[in-house]
Amino acid sequence: MQIQTPDWVKHAVFYQIFPDRFARSKQPRKRLLHEARWEDWEAMPTLQGYKGGDLWGILEGLDYIQALGINAIYFTPIFQSASNHRYHTHDYYQVDPLLGGNEAFKELLDAAHQRNIKVVLDGVFNHSSRGFFFFHDVLENGPYSPWVNWFKIQGWPLAPYTGELPANYEGWANNRALPAFNHDNPEVKEYIMEIAEYWIKFGIDGWRLDVPFEVKTPGFWQEFRQRVKAINPEAYIVGEVWGDSRQWLDGTQFDGVMNYLFAGPTIAFAAGDRVVLDQVQSRDYQPYPPLFAAEYAAKIQEVLQLYPWEIQLTQLNLLASHDTARLLTISGGDKPSIELATLLLLTFPGAPSIYYGDEVGLPGGIDPDSRRGFPLETSWDKEIFTTHHQLITLRQTHPALRIGDYQVLFAQGALYIFARTLGTEELIIAVNVGTAPAKANLDLASLRTQPNQLLYGNAEVEWYGEPATQQLSLTLPPRTGCILGVS
C-alpha cells in the first residue's frame, strides 16, 4: 500500500495555542460577558480560573504569528466547555461563547486562510463531560435515559461529583468529570464521525486527536480517516501518542503523532544535566538522563527508522506542549539549551511545533503553570525570539531542511553534525552541547558541494582537497550550533 500524507504538512511550521491564554481582544466586540471576573493575566494560572483569552484576540495577533514565519496553527480545544482548557466538552458543534462562538471562529479561520495559515483543531472524542447534554440526561433520568448506552455505565445510582460513593461509570483516567464514550455503540461512532465531517466541511485543515489510544473499537480510526479524507484529502490527522506509534502510523489511520520520541532525547542532549528532574519525571517522554552525541545519534536513528519516510515528514515535532513543562523551566533557565534544542527541532524532518510563548522565553512548570498568559512585549526575551525567527526563516527558505534526506556525519563527545540534502541543495548542521570548543575533521567525499557559508551561528570552517577527497575542518564554540550552506 502506498502511504499518502498531506503535502502541506511537510512544509508547515506549527504554532500551538491554548486559546484562553494567548490574547484578549482589544477591539469592541459583541460578547455575552462584559464584566467577567477574569484572573489577572500576569498571575500564575490556576486549575479553574479563566484569563479571558478569545479567538478575536488571536485574530488580532495573526500579523505577529505570520511575521514569525508560522503557516499552521494547532488549537487546544475550542468547543463549549466548563474548563479553561476545554477538554471537558459540552457541545461539539458550538465554539465556546467565552471565545466568541462559531462566528468568531469563522472570522478567524477565514483570516488565517487569507494568510495561507492552516488551522487544526483538537478532537476530544474518547470522553465528553458531565455537562454534555447526552450524559446530563443520564444524570437526570438514570436508567430511563435514552442515552444510557452511549456511556460505560456500571451500576446505579451514578455519583458524578462526590468521591464518597463509586462513580458507577467509566471516566477517562478514573476522572468523574470525563465520562468515557461507548465507542462500540454504532450511534456513538456515527455521532463522532459526523462531528469530524462537520468541522472539515466548515473549513478546518485537520484534527489533532486527544488520547486516541483509549479508543479500542476495531476499525474506528480507519473509518475516521476515510470519512475525513473523503471531504478533504489534504486534511491532517495527528494523534496524541507519546511512544512508539507504529500501530497507528500504517497509512490507514493517522498522518503523524505528537513526536515526543524526538522531544525527549533532544532535550536530554541539548540541556544535559541541567534538566530539572521534577519537571519531567511525571511525564512519559523522558528527557533524561543526559545524552552525549553518539547516544543522541543512536536515539534519533531509532526514531527515523520507526516509520516510513512519508510519515516522518508529517510527524508533529515538538519540545513542549500544554501537557509538559516549558523548556526554559526544564533546563533551569539555561538559554543555550533553548537555542540548541530549537536548532535541532527546526532542522529535523517533520513539522516543527512551537508552543505559544516559547519563542519569547516564557517559563512555566508542569501544568497549570505551563499555561501562562502570553507575555507583554516588554517581558519578551529578544534573544530567544531572534533565534526562533531566524531558524524558522531558514527552514522556510531551504527545502532541504523540510524534505531533504537526514544523514549523521559525526557524533562524538559533545559534537553532533548532520547533513540535510535535497537534489543539489546540501546543508550541514552542527551542534556542540559541551562547555568547551569542539573540533571535527570530516571526510565528505559523499557531498557534491562544499557548504562553506554560515547561514546561522558562528564557527571556523575550512575545506581541503578535491571533490573526490574533500575534507571539512569545523570548530564550534561551546554551547552553540551552526548551519552551513553553499554561497
Q: The C-alpha cell of 46 is what?
A: 490556576
Backbone angles phi, psi at 4, to 5 degrees: -120, 130
Name the DSSP letter for residue 284: S
pLDDT at 34: 74
Catalytic-role residue among 20, 240, 334, 358: 240
Give the N- to C-terminal CA distance of the chain in Å, as an integer: 41
Q: What is the pLDDT of residues 158-182, one digit of tens each?
A: 999 988 999 999 999 999 999 999 9
Confidence band for 35, pLDDT divided at 50, 70 and 90: confident
Which residue shows C-alpha cell 479571558? 52
CA nearest to 206, candidates 123, 127, 125: 123
Tell whether 432 and 382 lie within a shared domain: no
* Most distant CA atoms of the chain, gap in Å: 84
Tell whether 382 and 247 lie within a shared domain: yes
Q: What is the pLDDT of residues 406-449, one digit of tens each?
A: 999 999 999 999 999 999 999 999 999 999 999 999 999 888 99
Tell whether 200 and 294 lie within a shared domain: yes
Which H, E and C letters describe 337-373, residue by residue? HHHHHHHHHHCCCCEEEEECCHHHCCCCCCCCHHHCC
Tell whether 432 and 359 lie within a shared domain: no
Percent of the chain with pLDDT over 90: 93
Contact by Cβ (8 Å): 119, 75:
yes
Q: What is the pLDDT of residues 373-397, one digit of tens each?
A: 999 999 999 999 999 999 999 999 9
425 is catalytic: no
Q: What is the pLDDT of residues 49-72, one digit of tens each?
A: 999 999 999 999 999 999 999 999
- The domain boundary residue, chosen from 345, 375, 397: 397
Tell whether 355 and 448 lie within a shared domain: no
Task: List C-alpha distances in Å: 282 to 38, 180, 278, 367.
Answer: 30, 24, 7, 11
pLDDT at 186: 98
Which residue shows C-alpha cell 533532544? 266
What is the mean predicted confidence (pLDDT) over 319-328? Answer: 98
**3-state DSSP assignment of residue 80:** strand
In a domain, 424, yes or no: yes
Confidence band for 228, pLDDT divided at 50, 70 and 90: very high
pLDDT at 5: 98
Q: How many CB atoms lie within 10 A of CB 460?
A: 13
pLDDT at 100: 96
What average pLDDT is seen over the chain? 96
Q: What is the pLDDT of residues 327-342, one digit of tens each?
A: 999 999 999 999 999 9
- The domain boundary residue, chosen from 397, 422, 437: 397
Percent of the chain with pLDDT over 70: 100
Name the DSSP letter for residue 273: G
CATH number for the domain harbouring residue 445: 2.60.40.1180
405 is catalytic: no
What is the mean predicted confidence (pLDDT) over 452-462? Answer: 96
Tell whether 224 and 297 lie within a shared domain: yes
Instruction: Give the DSSP H or E segment for 393.
Output: helix 382-397
pLDDT at 28: 82
Residue 334 structural domain = 7-126+181-397
Name the DSSP letter for residue 120: E
The radius of gyration of the chain's CA atoms, rounded to the nearest angstrom, is 24
In a domain, 94, yes or no: yes
Backbone angles phi, psi at 111, to 5 degrees: -65, -40
Q: What is the pLDDT of residues 458-478, one digit of tens each?
A: 999 999 987 678 999 999 999
Tell whether 74 and 215 lie within a shared domain: yes
User: Is the per-residue pLDDT at 252 higher than 80?
Assistant: yes
Q: The C-alpha cell of 342 is what?
A: 530549537
In a domain, 162, yes or no: no
Cα–Cα dist 253/236, whole Å? 11
Residue 417, beta-bridge partner list: 410, 430
pLDDT at 446: 85
User: Is the per-residue pLDDT at 150 higher than 80?
Assistant: yes
Tabulate helix, strand, coil % of the chain (nearest 5): 35, 20, 45
pLDDT at 354: 98
Lowest mean pLDDT among 286-290, 294-298, 433-437: 286-290
- The domain boundary residue, chosen from 374, 397, 420: 397
Count the domains in the chain: 2
Cα–Cα dist 318/452, whole Å? 29
Tell whether 408 and 311 lie within a shared domain: no
Tell whether 369 and 382 lie within a shared domain: yes
Name the DSSP letter for residue 10: G
What angle in degrees, to the nearest 10, is found between the helix axes of 260-270 and 335-346? 140
Catalytic-role residue among 54, 60, 96, 210: 210
Cα–Cα dist 362/355, whole Å? 10
User: Is the per-residue pLDDT at 32 higher than 90?
Assistant: no
Q: Cβ-count burial of 132 within 10 angstroms (0-12 exposed, 13-18 middle, 19+ buried)?
A: buried
Residue 421, beta-bridge partner list: 405, 426
In a domain, 74, yes or no: yes
Which alpha helices (DSSP H) does 183-308 contain, by range?
186-202, 220-231, 260-270, 293-306
pLDDT at 1: 78
